[in-house]
Amino acid sequence: MEKTNYAAIDIGSNAVRLLIKSVDMEEGTASFVKEQLLRVPLRLGEDTFSVGTISKEKGKRLLRLMKSYRQLMKIYGVKRYRACATSAVRDAANGPELIREISRKTGIKIEVIGGEEEARLIYDNHIEEMLDRRYDYLYVDVGGGSTEISLISGGVLQSSRSYDIGTVRLLEGRVKEESVASLRNDMRELGAGHPGLRIIGSGGNINKLYRLAAAGCKNGMELPVSELSVINGVLKSMSSEERVRVFRMRPDRADVITFAADIFLEIAGQCGASVILVPTIGLADGIIDSLYAEDTERAGRR
The predicted-structure confidence for 190-211, as pLDDT tens digits, reads as follows: 999 999 999 999 888 999 999 9
Q: Domain map of the chain by residue range?
A: 4-114+284-301, 126-281
3-state helix, strand and coil shares in percent for the chain, rounded to the nearest 5 = 50, 25, 25
Which 3 state secondary structure label does DSSP give 11? strand
- The CATH architecture of the domain made up of 4-114+284-301 is 2-Layer Sandwich (3.30)
pLDDT(301) > 80: no
What number is the average pLDDT over the span 152-175? 91
- CATH number corresponding to 126-281: 3.30.420.150
What does the CA dihedral 175, 91, 185, 14 come to, rounded to 10 degrees? -60
- Among 37-46, 144-153, 253-262, whose mean pLDDT is lowest? 144-153
> Which stretch of 12-26, 117-131, 263-277 has the lowest confidence by average pLDDT?
117-131
Q: Which residues contact 158 (CB under 8 A, 6 or more apart)?
A: 150, 151, 152
The per-residue pLDDT for range 113-146, each reduced to its tens digit, is 987 787 777 666 656 666 777 889 998 999 999 9
| Confidence (pLDDT) at 300 | 67
pLDDT digits (tens, 9 = 90+) for 83-118: 999 999 999 999 999 999 999 999 999 999 987 787
So what's the pLDDT on residue 166?
96
**What's the average model confidence in pLDDT over 226-244?**
97
Beta bridge partners of 201: 140
Query: Is there a common fold for 4-114+284-301 and 126-281?
Result: yes
Q: What is the pLDDT of residue 172?
A: 93
- Total residue length of the chain: 302
